[in-house]
């Protein structure tokens, strides 16, 4: 049985209330909050890389 994240990435119907997906959403929100509420110039690149996985 495929996980909800796998279903989401394939474009299939999925349960958005799945604990794994909720945890990913909460982490992204926390990173965005940190980015938008006073991250200094040295912290911003690290936060952006954590949020997007790679920065070009």
Q: What is the DSSP string of 6-52?
A: HHHHHT----TT-HHHHHHHHHHHHHHHHHHTT--TTTHHHHHHHHH
pLDDT at 56 over 80: no
Task: Name the band, by pLDDT with cuts 50, 70 and 90, for residue 54.
Answer: confident
What pLDDT is stored for residue 20 in this prediction? Answer: 95
Q: What is the pLDDT of residues 17-46, one digit of tens each?
A: 999 999 999 999 999 999 999 888 899 999
CA atoms within 13 A on the CB side of 2: 12
């Amino acid at each position: 049985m495929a996980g909800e994240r796998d279903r989401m990435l394939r474009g299939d119907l999925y349960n958005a209330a799945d604990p794994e997906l909720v945890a990913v959403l909460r982490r992204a929100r926390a990173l965005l909050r940190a980015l938008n509420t006073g991250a200094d110039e040295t912290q911003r690149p690290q936060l952006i890389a954590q949020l997007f996985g790679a920065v070009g």
